[in-house]
Structure 1
Amino acid sequence: MLPRTCSACAAGAVVLAFTETMAQPVPAQTEESREARLPPVTVTGVRASMISAQQVRRDNLGIVDAVVADDIVRLPDHSVADALQRVAGVQITRDRGEGGVVVIRGLTQMETLLNGREVFTAGTGRALDFSDIPAEMISAVHVHKTSSADQLEGGLGGTIDLRTRRPFDFAGREVALSARMVHGDLVRKAKPQVALLASDRWSLGAGGELGALVSLSHQRRAYREDQKSSGAPRACDSTSAAGTAGIPACPELVPGRKVYAPNATSETRSIGERERTGLNAVLQWRPSPALELYAEGSFAQFKTIQDSYQINASIGLNTGFQPGSVELFPGTDDVRRVTWTNVPVSVLSFARDTVDRTRQFALGGNWKPGDAWQVKSDLSHTQSFNHLFFSGPTLSATAAAFTHDVSSRVPGTSVSGTDLLDPANFTFVSSAYRVRPFEGSLTAWRIDAEHDLGMGIAESVSVGLRLARRRADNGAGLTFGDASVPGGLPAANRPDLVMPNPYGFMPGEDSTSLRDFLAGNLALARDPVALRTALGITGPLPSGGSPLSLWRFDERTYSAYVSTDLKAPRMPLDGRVGVRVVRTHEGASGFQSVPSAGGVAPLEVDSRYTDWLPSLSLRYAVEPGLALRAAAAKTITRPNFDQLSPSLSLLRNSVDPSLNQGLSGNPALEPVRAANVDLAVERYFGDTTAVLATVFWKKVDGFATTVSRDEVHDGETYRVSRPVNTSRGKVTGVELGYQQFYDGLPGAWSGLGLQANYTYVDGKTVLAGTGELPLQNLSRHSLNLIGMYEKGPVSARLAYNWRDRYFSGLTGVVGVGSLPSYVAAYGWLDASLRWRWNERVTFAVEGTNLLRTLRHSYYETQTRRQHAWLNDRQISMAVTVRLH
């Protein structure tokens, strides 16, 4: 069979069909043999989720971790990304209080699948934004940390496969309805979420059996995120006080000494609503025991509507400071407190709305013409659209004095000598307008065949072929329509366009902030033409971006594989060995500057390359319940589309041709490639009890780094900056896991359970001209502790996730150099309490971010503050009704 996984367990945690005991050997039996021995047993809740996830790990020849739904219409967490953070080796960043970017073993380069098919969010990258998918649509998430030949290429760090339910996962009719109300304590609003699943199957007599399923989810969530940012540290001494071209001077704060002071504050309140809609429909037809056909369709839409109010204060051309106000952190040259004078202040109020929309349709089947053969085929088409809208007015003022104190958890800021609520002190200076679209599509067909050999070491041989065509473009590009207000417009002349800032800032934090100020009224922000007219801007809105920013791709891939399942005679050793070969044809189009003609010209580039990807997985049963694993494979991830863009911008210097500059992507970029080795030991003591340990190594080659080189274009030499494959990296790490329900405890205590995992990952890369750096978004240490209770009708869960500090990027600062930025270590606490009133109705109370965690980042050292974020504590009440 292809692949050898427990598909019934993976498809959902409601009906589980397995009765293996820990006395049996670790190598998996086939799904058919388990189903033949005992009928399905209905198991629900956290315990069922653990049993199913553990079985997925045991049954796979590779190293696969899983998160499985603990009820028919929900994962254990509100979002897919939040559920993924519970998996050892997986870390996430946060976006508006939810899980954001997912990192597997230090790498963001991964393959994302929906029911085994490639799925993505249109954009510059290739993977799915997990925020797009309502958690209620998903029955299980499989995280493949090792690779095999039959798996789709593209997962440098790993492959994440989201699984939805099918009608044949259930014994008969199944209908479930879930409703939830979610309240955010900062935004002070509650929004509803509903989910419905309806499935049934019918006997058609001689026509076999037919099943149909519809799953619908609609989520609304109000949120608020407060962010305070301190500007990059500026060098302040007698030299820097003279200023640099285009850079305001920094006064000499301490006579005869160079010190470093944050050059600004930026304080943003973002209030919005996120809306997710998901639909999944499936038909399954089994006309005979040997043939099964299916048709699937899925739709996901993710919308964010956000209003933001941002006030900024920064060092200006005429900024001074109050003598005696300067304090340094002891033993450093970093300024802890200073009062600036004559400080420019700006207030940007803006609407920021986004929408992602993804559709996927598939037809396929599974045919078993005999005991020894199995053939599978799948044809799918995926379309994705991504759009950003940004618009709003900017006000300007000057503060007599601005005090900045960065010694507290949230840096303290205050203004004196100027009333920032007085319209007479403000002028409208500009209106922002930006629109950015992305589109993408993929048509793919694959066929896989497996033949059971039943002889010698080779148990079976599998072959497969996949043809795919992916298209991607950025439409009209980034439309940048920011415009200045002619001569400025006094706010007092248009009182209808301003209002007092409607929100405080970071409640509960013991520090001052800029709370009392005028902000732009956003009533016209989503009508940019009307807003510009009201501000006296007469120029029309642009209809698109520069042609030099455009790119379009037509990518075709042809892949084939062969693999063999192995079983050693007279030894408890099995495995899989294979190779996948992939031919990629990249067609890219864009535009390039033609300085001699003063215009642009179309540009088309083709590239082709072939990758051979061998893989090997071995599993050895030392004794019943104890297994050793080893895996080795080569993996790849293709470059992002913006990196591959052929569009070339040339800036000619008519005075000094040696200063000619250029900027472009690089359609000749090759994939990032990695060699991977994993070793694991697994001890299973029961259906829910296991101790796991994995050691892994990755050697990565081909990270893209921007390099400037001389190139000849249009008869002249230009210094062109392009990304090139120069950087190498290495990742090593250890994953430890433990889980158990303590059934041996007396009475009610026997409902207690614990899941715990710890990950250590050390990842570094070498960048040209910079040297060795840690991998971005990678914490060296991370930990999950999940306390559980399930007894009778009560089920409870307390989940704590902690991650160490991580490198977030480099910032170039004039007079200082390149500074690394780090997000400090933080923990996140979620909990749920569920009560099963009867077999049909379950009530739940759930909470996320119960600690109302304050996250912060810094430049190089903790005395150089960068950002601080505060998100809502979310509390929800839910009810689930099963109507079968």
Structure 2
Amino acid sequence: MQSVKPFRRSWLLSSAAASSLLLLASGPAWAQDAQDPPPAGDALPADASEEESAEGANGDVIVVTGIRSSIRSSIAAKRESDQIVEAISAEDIGKLPDVSIAEALARLPGLAAQRVRGRAQVLSVRGLGPDYTTALLNGREQVTAGDNRGVEFDQYPSELISQALVYKTPDAQLVAQGLAGTVDLRTIRPLAFGERAVNLSASYEYNSNGELNDGFDERGYRLTGTYVNQFANDTIGIVLSIADQNTPTQGEKYEICNFDDRGGAQAPGCFKMFSESRDLDRTAYLGTLEFEPNATLNTSLDLLYTEFTDGGVRRGAEFPTGTWLGGGSGLQLLGAQVEDGLVTAGTFDPVFAVGRNDIQEREAELFSVGWNVQWRPFESWLFEGDLSHSSVERSALDFESYAGLGVGAWQNYTAAVDQLDFAFTGDRYRFHSQVGSDYADPSLMVLTDPGGWGQDGFRKTLNTDDQLSALRLSATREFDRGFLSSVEAGVYFSDREKQRETIEDFVDLVGVDELAIPTQYLLNPTDIFFVSNVQMIAYDPAALLRDGIYTLRPLPLGFIPQKQWQVEEQITTAYLQANIDTNIGVPVRGNAGVQVVHTDQSSTGPIANGLAFLPVVATDGDTYTEVLPSLNLAFELGENTFLRLGAARTLARPRMDDMRASVGIGINSQVCRINPITNQFEYTPNPSDPNAVCISGGSGNPQLRPYMADSFDISLEHYFADGGGYVSIAAFHKEIDNWVFGNVGRDVDTTAIVDEIFGAGTSAANPGVSDGRFFAAENADGGWLRGLEFSLSLPAEAFLPEQFEGFGLFASYSVTDSEIQPSTAPSPINIPGLSEELGNITVYYERGGWEARISNRFRSDFLGELPDFTGQPDFRRVFDESVIDAQIGYEFVDGPASGLTVQLQANNLTDERFGTYINDDERLARNWEEYGTTYTLRVSYRR
């Protein structure tokens, strides 16, 4: 594994030292003969409104609310679970401990978030990236707004979530499990909540980067309202919530397109530098209606609807410098300084700028509905039915607009008078333009094609539609005696369909090669001073298109078949689970079970031959059945000490873009062709070369089987007697096979394609001509993944004098390693999302209405997924990062202001950058982004 950087090692050592001292100080608590926390059935639910309490050693009652209440509820969920889980519970209605559910989850042991535009969005669980984790809402599988299976958690407002459970080990009744884990987001159950409550909150947000682009504010807001009540003698309960949010993003970013070889040293081939401003607008509505007329029947209806828009602009400059210019030699590089094969400083002379005014917008609508019925006709029998539907419709726009000193500037760059000095400062490049031209001057900068690329801009729209319907039926038989507490059997049906399409257009000026920017479209110039001394002209390209100054020229669909596809999955899961509760010298509980999963998968997509789609479409698929056994055992070795064991076979379905049927084909004219002289079809097979076929192409593979893993887990946990803390160490090992990898040729029947291109009957008249080969990912050998996780939650009152009451510490550290060696790979590959080291430390204080917290979460570098300039996934190494958040607040507990809370939060306090690099060399940074600190002032009222 890679070594830990000195300052990271210092962070880890200081955390470990603090934890060790606290453990030594807490020694008496391990043997303390005190009352156990209540069992699961008696514990307060995560969304309970009552103040929790515990009896102290002197018999006094210690009242805990807020942060400590959240910690206690989370610990109770972890302790009482039969599986190895991590939990987050809200402090109160609408008060998860972070502004984002993804931020909160990323603090749990073994979990990490990848930040997108400065905020946590997708999760890795135990070193496996977003595509290997399943998300549930109240136990129901959810679709995803992204292009594949990874859940984007910013779709779910944290204010509407009362608890989140992360199942690291599955059981048989967890029907939508992932290879890495399963995240179950839960909302309030109104009858279990047990009282009427109204919660209102308002937040003011401010981004420290200020207003980077004209027309975009650095200030935002959040508004939330929740109403919970029970009626008709507590037989009817309702929850109504609304959360409205406007969050600003102000980002400073630069990118290097690629690195070129300059005399044996790597030099930047292109510099891009942008100031980015966006607004995230999200409105979410949540409703729950629960009816329990008697002790034998309970039914509930849950609805969630979210409107989500994340849009804005990025404005700046692009400086092409690469070897593709100047007849292959690149722009002239003067005064180059080279260190260990990298050009660390120099001057490109002359240069030209491509001014960029780009619009980026992303809209999504998420709808989730679920109806659950539980019926207990007899005391020992429980029947349950659950019907659900989840859908997301997403549209993403990327609109580029160019400006420069004139058309085709790169072809005439010798006439330019500008220079660009650059220097590597130890972590990134910085630039200084010896400007002979003012890039903010509208008398010089014109709308045009300064790069000679054949367009004055580019516009693409990506549309995704994901639909999932599911039905679950189960029966549970409970037992009063014996080693089994119950046996559950059930069946789960799901039908999912996901479609993706892209519309792409060149943007052209109407009737001219270049045009002075009309004054009515001009905006205040944009500074790019964070990385250069450049200021860039700013204007509104959407208005130029709307008013007819720009026109769209469609990109031939044949160029982009890989972006158009539809994937369908019908899954039937039958399961049987026995729940264990016995004593074999020590109390033992857990479960043993098995799932039988039958999958029918298919995909449909276009077939592109050159510039156009053929009239025929590609359709392919497969059916298969997998058997997934699971075992979870929790041994209570001593008072409050548990040893947990888990073993299971799990799966993760392939990425949907890997499963696509769409294909771009080519014709081998040496094998088949129309003779230009005779105008007759000719077929010349070459049996000695399996790749010498008439039709070949690049595609997805609708016959891919899922990733499979045999997982083994062990966890040793000790809970402090007051229920407010614990210490645990866990280890896991996964043997993974069926890894999806590579670009392997597979035999395909191309009869319909051959007959469409060469004429009906061609395949029948020429046996063998339809034996085509498509190159796509295949299932291959896998390898292993293993790790250690340490976590510690220490409330000061458990082991320190009374004056320290209210202080507490939570810390975790995980180390993960892997070796995945597909048979078609020359060496072991990196797993997307795997950071070898994860760490989190949170110090908090809560007493007398005051609460404060500071947190630091760290992850080492990892392979992250970003979209490339075409919108396709690009996997790059992401720099290690350390994100610090802080919070302070006061709750009025009595008097006329009782129920009022004022809170100030700071996210990303040190403005930690997000960046990627290539070739395992951190100096080869491809992009670097800084989004500032977001401050949030929140006022909430609960009655």
Q: TM-score range by the shorter chain?
A: 0.7 to 0.9
Question: Residue in 2 aligned with 1:881?
Answer: 941
Pairwise CA distance, 1:386: 1.0
Aligned residues: 820
Pairwise CA distance, 1:301: 2.2
Q: Please state if 1:402 is matched with 2:420.
A: yes
Pairwise CA distance, 1:278: 1.5
> Match for 1:853 among 909, 912, 917?
912
Name the aligned partner's letter for residue 328 of structure 1: V
Question: Residue in 2 aligned with 1:795?
Answer: 851
Question: Residue in 2 aligned with 1:674?
Answer: 709
Aligned equivalents of 1:15, 1:135: Cα separation in 2:
21
- Residues 727 and 221 from structure 1, CA distance in 2 versus in 1: closer, same or farther, beyond 3 angstroms? farther
Q: Which runs of 5+ in 2 are unaligned?
A: 1-38, 212-217, 406-412, 450-455, 673-691, 755-768, 869-873
Question: Residue in 2 aligned with 1:250?
Answer: none
Q: Please state if 1:45 is matched with 2:60.
A: no
Question: Residue in 2 aligned with 1:390?
Answer: 398
Aligned equivalents of 2:557, 2:776: Cα separation in 1:
28
Q: Please state if 1:110 is matched with 2:133.
A: yes
Aligned equivalents of 1:7, 1:197: Cα separation in 2:
26
Given that 1:187 and 1:222 are in contact with CA atoms closer than 8 Å, whether structure 2 keeps it comes out as no
Name the aligned partner's letter for residue 840 of structure 1: G
Aligned equivalents of 2:612, 2:149: Cα separation in 1:
36
Name the SS for the 1:517 alignment partner.
strand
Aligned equivalents of 1:41, 1:168: Cα separation in 2:
27
Question: Residue in 1 aligned with 2:810?
Answer: 755
Q: Please state if 1:868 is matched with 2:928.
A: yes
Pairwise CA distance, 1:598: 8.4
Give me the CA root mean square deviation: 3.0
Question: Residue in 2 aligned with 1:261?
Answer: 267
Pairwise CA distance, 1:794: 0.5
Question: Residue in 1 aligned with 2:592?
Answer: 577
Given that 1:704 and 1:726 are in contact with CA atoms closer than 8 Å, whether structure 2 keeps it comes out as yes
> Match for 1:780 among 813, 833, 836?
836
Aligned equivalents of 1:726, 1:541: Cα separation in 2:
36
Question: Residue in 2 aligned with 1:30?
Answer: none
Pairwise CA distance, 1:788: 0.5
> Match for 1:275 among 275, 281, 292?
281
- Residues 648 and 539 from structure 1, CA distance in 2 versus in 1: closer, same or farther, beyond 3 angstroms? closer
Q: Please state if 1:699 is matched with 2:707.
A: no
Name the SS for the 1:677 alignment partner.
strand
Aligned equivalents of 1:495, 1:168: Cα separation in 2:
62
Pairwise CA distance, 1:725: 1.1
Question: Residue in 2 aligned with 1:615?
Answer: 630
1:112-133 CA-partner distances (Å, limit 9, x unpaired): 0000001122443234310101
> Match for 2:187 among 153, 156, 164?
164
Q: Please state if 1:214 is matched with 2:250.
A: no
Question: Residue in 2 aligned with 1:553?
Answer: 567
Aligned equivalents of 1:596, 1:752: Cα separation in 2:
66
1:678-725 CA-partner distances (Å, limit 9, x unpaired): 001001113112101100011222232231427563236766321111
My pick for the range that moved more, 87-96 or 362-371, is 362-371
> Match for 1:79 among 100, 107, 114?
100
Question: Residue in 2 aligned with 1:136?
Answer: 159
Question: Residue in 1 aligned with 2:350?
Answer: 342
Aligned equivalents of 2:562, 2:268: Cα separation in 1:
36
- Residues 320 and 500 from structure 1, CA distance in 2 versus in 1: closer, same or farther, beyond 3 angstroms? farther
1:745-772 CA-partner distances (Å, limit 9, x unpaired): 4454322111011111113323534421
Given that 1:14 and 1:42 are in contact with CA atoms closer than 8 Å, whether structure 2 keeps it comes out as no
Name the aligned partner's letter for residue 848 of structure 1: N
Name the aligned partner's letter for residue 732 of structure 1: R
> Match for 2:258 among 232, 242, 266?
232
> Match for 1:198 among 219, 227, 239?
227
Matches within 5 A, 1:543-692: 549-571=563-585, 572-593=587-608, 599-652=614-667, 654=669, 661-685=696-720, 686-692=722-728
Pairwise CA distance, 1:449: 1.8
- Residues 665 and 18 from structure 1, CA distance in 2 versus in 1: closer, same or farther, beyond 3 angstroms? farther
1:401-424 CA-partner distances (Å, limit 9, x unpaired): 222212343411122253133443
Aligned equivalents of 1:141, 1:526: Cα separation in 2:
44
Pairwise CA distance, 1:811: 13
Q: Which runs of 5+ in 1 are unaligned?
A: 23-39, 238-257, 507-511, 813-818
TM-score, structure 2 normalization: 0.82
Name the aligned partner's letter for residue 187 of structure 2: T
Matches within 5 A, 1:760-775: 760-767=815-822, 768-775=824-831
Pairwise CA distance, 1:371: 2.7
- Residues 303 and 560 from structure 1, CA distance in 2 versus in 1: closer, same or farther, beyond 3 angstroms? same
Aligned equivalents of 1:314, 1:342: Cα separation in 2:
11
Aligned equivalents of 1:551, 1:808: Cα separation in 2:
24
My pick for the range that moved more, 302-311 or 567-576, is 567-576
Aligned equivalents of 2:120, 2:812: Cα separation in 1:
19
- Residues 324 and 546 from structure 1, CA distance in 2 versus in 1: closer, same or farther, beyond 3 angstroms? closer
Pairwise CA distance, 1:546: 6.1
Pairwise CA distance, 1:836: 0.9
- Residues 730 and 526 from structure 1, CA distance in 2 versus in 1: closer, same or farther, beyond 3 angstroms? farther
Name the aligned partner's letter for residue 365 of structure 1: V
Aligned equivalents of 1:322, 1:122: Cα separation in 2:
45
- Residues 623 and 377 from structure 1, CA distance in 2 versus in 1: closer, same or farther, beyond 3 angstroms? same
Given that 2:333 and 2:346 are in contact with CA atoms closer than 8 Å, whether structure 1 keeps it comes out as no
1:835-860 CA-partner distances (Å, limit 9, x unpaired): 01234111111111111113333332
Pairwise CA distance, 1:142: 0.4
- Residues 588 and 720 from structure 1, CA distance in 2 versus in 1: closer, same or farther, beyond 3 angstroms? closer
Pairwise CA distance, 1:727: 4.8
Aligned equivalents of 1:480, 1:792: Cα separation in 2:
59
Q: Please state if 1:525 is matched with 2:542.
A: yes
Given that 2:853 and 2:888 are in contact with CA atoms closer than 8 Å, whether structure 1 keeps it comes out as yes
Pairwise CA distance, 1:494: 4.3
Question: Residue in 1 aligned with 2:21?
Answer: none
Matches within 5 A, 1:730-749: 730-743=784-797, 744-746=799-801, 748-749=803-804
My pick for the range that moved more, 851-860 or 100-109, is 851-860
Aligned equivalents of 2:533, 2:436: Cα separation in 1:
12
Pairwise CA distance, 1:352: 0.8
Aligned equivalents of 1:376, 1:386: Cα separation in 2:
33
Name the SS for the 2:282 alignment partner.
strand
Aligned equivalents of 1:543, 1:626: Cα separation in 2:
62
Aligned equivalents of 1:807, 1:171: Cα separation in 2:
46
Name the aligned partner's letter for residue 632 of structure 2: S
- Residues 775 and 543 from structure 1, CA distance in 2 versus in 1: closer, same or farther, beyond 3 angstroms? closer
Name the aligned partner's letter for residue 482 of structure 2: G
Aligned equivalents of 1:568, 1:834: Cα separation in 2:
46
- Residues 580 and 233 from structure 1, CA distance in 2 versus in 1: closer, same or farther, beyond 3 angstroms? same
Matches within 5 A, 1:110-509: 110-188=133-211, 189-204=218-233, 209-237=235-263, 258-316=264-322, 317-318=325-326, 325-329=335-339, 332-397=340-405, 398=413, 400-419=418-437, 420-422=439-441, 423-424=443-444, 426-429=446-449, 430-474=456-500, 477-485=501-509, 489-492=513-516, 494=518, 496-497=520-521, 501-506=525-530
Aligned equivalents of 1:538, 1:727: Cα separation in 2:
47
Aligned equivalents of 2:776, 2:207: Cα separation in 1:
45
Name the aligned partner's letter for residue 269 of structure 2: N
Name the SS for the 2:713 alignment partner.
strand
Name the aligned partner's letter for residue 418 of structure 1: G
Tell me the percent identity. 24
Name the SS for the 2:69 alignment partner.
helix
- Residues 425 and 374 from structure 1, CA distance in 2 versus in 1: closer, same or farther, beyond 3 angstroms? closer
- Residues 609 and 187 from structure 1, CA distance in 2 versus in 1: closer, same or farther, beyond 3 angstroms? farther
Aligned equivalents of 2:266, 2:91: Cα separation in 1:
52
Name the aligned partner's letter for residue 372 of structure 1: S
